[in-house]
Amino acid sequence: MTTRLDGFHDIDDGSVVVEVLPERFWTKILANQFANGCWYWCGSTSKDGYGRFSWKGRTYGAHRVSFWKFHGVVPTGNYELDHLCNNRCCVNPAHLEIVSHGLNMRRARQRKQWAAEDRAALLASRGVA
């Protein structure tokens, strides 16, 4: 059994036999209702905003469960799922990409910088900054 740094279990650690996901997984998702295409997880979340799904006595990242269900694989080891939509509670598999931990961190820094630049530009355009 492996527990990731983010507190979630890996799905393909041998502890979960591939079978039908319980119906309640799908009842926690609001999909196809938003222009951004995100599937919002309405179940419980981790303190840093990722969806959590408890199954067979363990807790998994909801986005990881979704990715596994649609792609049949989830990244392990040094690989993570990057939310291309930058929305941590999104579980749309099309919005997730397998990337290395390093690339995930670089992208996160880049997005933070873009957000700061956007904010500064907005404030400047309103004569605030």
CA 67 – CA 51 distance, rounded (Å): 13
CA 116 – CA 92 distance, rounded (Å): 26
CA 94 – CA 62 distance, rounded (Å): 14
First-to-last C-alpha distance (Å) of the chain: 51
In the complex with Zn ion, the residue whose CB is nearer, 9 or 63, is: 63
Shortest separation between residue 82's beta carbon and Zn ion, angstroms: 11
In the complex with Zn ion, the residue whose CB is nearer, 13 or 97, is: 97
Chain residues in the site for Zn ion (CB under 5 A): 38, 85, 87, 90, 92, 95
In the complex with Zn ion, the residue whose CB is nearer, 18 or 34, is: 34
In the complex with Zn ion, the residue whose CB is nearer, 9 or 95, is: 95
Shortest separation between residue 93's beta carbon and Zn ion, angstroms: 10
Shortest separation between residue 91's beta carbon and Zn ion, angstroms: 8
CA 96 – CA 86 distance, rounded (Å): 10
Shortest separation between residue 24's beta carbon and Zn ion, angstroms: 21
CA 59 – CA 24 distance, rounded (Å): 14
